[in-house]
Structure formats: C-alpha cells, structure tokens
Amino acid sequence: MFTICFVGTHIPLLSFAGWQYLSGRVDLAGLSVVLAATLVGTGFTLFCIDALMAPIRFATRAVAALEQEQTAALESVQDGDVLADLLAGVGRATEATQVRIATLDNAAHRDPLTGLLNRRGFMARSEDVADGTVALIDLDHFKSVNDEFGHDVGDDILKDFAAFLARGVRRADRVARWGGEEFVVLFPDTSEDEAAGILRRVARRMDAGLIDRPDGKPVTCSGGVVALDGDTLARAITRADTALYAAKAGGRNQLRVGAEHMRVD
C-alpha cells in the first residue's frame, strides 16, 4: 500500500521531468519546486495512511491478545469511522469470547452444587504437585439421609460440609468434590501426620454436631490419608480410597492413615 501511494504521488514529478527533457527546456528552479512539493505531499500522505492504519494495528493486537486469553488494551478512536467500527467489533468479540471461555472452564471444572472443583478440575489443577499428602473423605450413612429426608436436605448437607471443609484446610490445600458424598483434599508439601491433624479437627467438629440431620443426629465423616511418596496423584488417590474403605469397615467416623491404615482418633 505504501509503495503504491509513493509511486502515485511521484507521477506528476516524473511527468513534469519527462516533459522538460523531451522538450529540451529544463527548468531547474521549477523542477526543484515540484520535487519539493512532491516530497512534502508524499510525507503527508504516508503520515495520514499510517494514522488511518492505527485502528487495524490495534485490532490485530486485540486478536493476538484473544489468542493468549488476555484482555486487549483497546485505545479509543474517532466515532463513525469504519475502522473504528471494526476495532469496536473486535473488542466486543474479544470480551464476549473471554466470558464464554471462563463460563465453559467453570462448567467443566466446578461442581455446580458445592462450588468446589470437580474431579476433572481437581486433577487438572493438581498435576504440578509432586510431593505431599492426599485424603479422601466420605460422609457417613449419607444414603440414609437422602432416603429418609429427601435429596434437598442431602444437598444442603453437602453444601454445608463443602464450605466447612474448604474453610477448615489451609489456603494452599486443594479441595474438590470427588463424587456423590465423597471429597478429596490435596495437601502440597505436607506429611501424613500433618494432614491427618488438620482433618482430625474437621472430624471432631463434625462429630460434635457442626452439621445435624433433621432428626438431630450429627453428620459424621470418615477419611483415608496417604502420602504421595513419589507416586502419581491417581495412584495415591487409589491408595487413599483403600484407607477410606478401612475406615468404613472399622466403624466409620474415623481417619485411617498411611499404608498400614493406622486409625487416628
């Protein structure tokens, strides 16, 4: 585009110089005036074209920012300009796409009932943890709650427990709803004993009646706690599930820790 404009603005100069050459009457003063005017006109034309191209550059940056899942810093342009409309459209598309991405990501990785991470979200956000402890926690006799009092009551209990569990662990710990009435907690860079101590406080509060069933009985929980020990997270969760099963088989309302499934009271 710049080349075409440059050539176009020099046609009068080239025509004038050619006419003088062919006619044998070279007017250096007149040629100098035309040359100077041509150069000034060329500079002015290129400057204006560059200014008119600015919105396109901004739009290109917006698209690049969209690809990087960032909010584009769009600069204001004059209203009514076609390029301004283009830029505004790109801005709206960028913002709308960001909202859609956030919504889809939330739907894919969050449990809609409790607001915690779901299984997929937990695994996706925990791949970077190489050392620590993982625990599986299950609400005791939860099926009977749904059977006797209905799923609405059961849902309220799940939400209350999810909120309490999220508050009861540390900020760096990751909590998710694993499925049904089962929850998972990842304690990065934490030993089995430390993790068990945190969850023991949670279990004691539950046993003391933090969350009651409609019949007044406290909702209790059982858990299995195991260290990663260099294992993958998926395999560690399988071992935690085995420890949880031992807690259930041992009478519920308890924690079982490590490969030996030691009971923690």
Report, as residue numbers or ranges, the catalytic residues. 181
- What distance in Å separates the CA atoms of residue 190 and residue 46, rounded to the nearest whole number? 64
Q: In the Cβ-directed half-sphere of 244, how many Cα atoms lie within 13 Å?
A: 21
Q: Is the Cβ–Cβ distance between 256 and 263 less than 8 Å?
A: yes
Identify each DSSP E strand in the chain by its residue range: 132-139, 174-179, 182-188, 221-227, 255-257, 262-264
- 82-109 vs 28-67: helix axis angle to the nearest 10? 20
Here the tokens at position 204 are 């004691």
Here the tokens at position 114 are 């409790």
- 28-67 vs 2-23: helix axis angle to the nearest 10? 170
